[in-house]
Amino acid sequence: MDTTFIKRFIFTSIGRKAVMAVSGLLLGGFMLVHLAENLLLFKGETMYNGWVDFLLANPVTPFLEVGLAALFLAHITTGVWVRIEDFINSPGGYEARKWQGGRTIGSATMLYTAAAILAYLLYHLLTFRFVDHSMGFYQMVTSAFRRPVFVAIYVAGSAALALHLSHGMQSAFQTLGLNHPKYTPLIKVFGMLTALSMIGFALISVYYLMGIDLKAAETGAELVIIR
């Protein structure tokens, strides 16, 4: 397979932006799937641990993890590369360009939220992935969500992710040329809904921190605080 064209394309400004856009969209899709996985916590210990055990035993999972790591690396590398080019080529550097792309808080803070997400990702991996899992994943996760410091970090990471995606999703579609007067409003709505859904991560952690038993509410009883 001749990869010459691909290499040349990536080493162009348009190519780097395209790689950043595609990898960003795929990562956004992964976060939606990961949120759905986290919602399995509400199904109980057996369901959640069963799903995690299935993933760990699946021979495809290591390849998916390598692919996911490659997406993160590609997104980070091209993102940094594009920002450096912007800084070099623009009068006033990044400060002169940071409000471009809609003049929103999301577009203005892309660099900062990206750094916050990367820091949180490393913390998340050290907390959940590269640790002893003998107690079971359900107990490990819910125990972490009952620690105020961890929940504070988790909420901050979720907020940074939501803010990043609020601009990143629609910007990615625009970079790929998928913008049209008829479809652009729908793309913006989709991007904003995807961003807002990331707050779900924070709400799940706060739920366990507060120890609220919603099952009591479903039966008509008062909310029970589990301590």
Band (142; pLDDT cuts 50, 70, 90): very high
Q: What is the mean pLDDT of the chain?
A: 85
Band (15; pLDDT cuts 50, 70, 90): confident
Band (89; pLDDT cuts 50, 70, 90): confident
212: number of CA atoms within 13 Å, CB side?
Answer: 11
Give the Cβ contact number of residue 132 at 10 Å.
6
Q: Which of 78, 144, 152, 148 is nearest to 120 (CA)?
A: 152
Reply yes or no on whether the pLDDT at 226 is more than 60: no
Side chain identity at 20, as an amino acid letter? M
Please say whether the beta carbons of 197 and 169 come within 8 A: no
Tell me the domain boundaries of the chain.
Answer: 4-225
Band (65; pLDDT cuts 50, 70, 90): very high
- What pLDDT shows up at residue 219? 43
Among 21-35, 144-158, 181-195, name the one with the lowest average pLDDT: 181-195
Q: Which of 2, 3, 36, 18 is nearest to 198 (CA)?
A: 36
Reply yes or no on whether the pLDDT at 53 is more than 60: yes
Band (168; pLDDT cuts 50, 70, 90): very high
Please say whether the beta carbons of 111 and 83 come within 8 A: yes
Reply yes or no on whether the pLDDT at 208 is more than 90: yes
* Residue 165 to residue 171: CA distance in whole angstroms: 9
Task: Give the rounded percent of residues in the chain with a pLDDT score beyond 70.
Answer: 85
For the domain spanning 4-225, the CATH number is: 1.20.1300.10
Reply yes or no on whether the pLDDT at 85 is more than 90: no
pLDDT (average), residues 137-162: 94
- What pLDDT shows up at residue 88? 76
Torsion sign, CA atoms 122, 86, 159, 22: negative
pLDDT (average), residues 115-141: 90
- Give the CA angle between residues 177, 182, 185 to the nearest 5°: 80
CA distance readout (Å), 174 to 30, 75, 97:
20, 16, 17
Band (192; pLDDT cuts 50, 70, 90): very high
Answering whether pTM is above 0.95, one says no
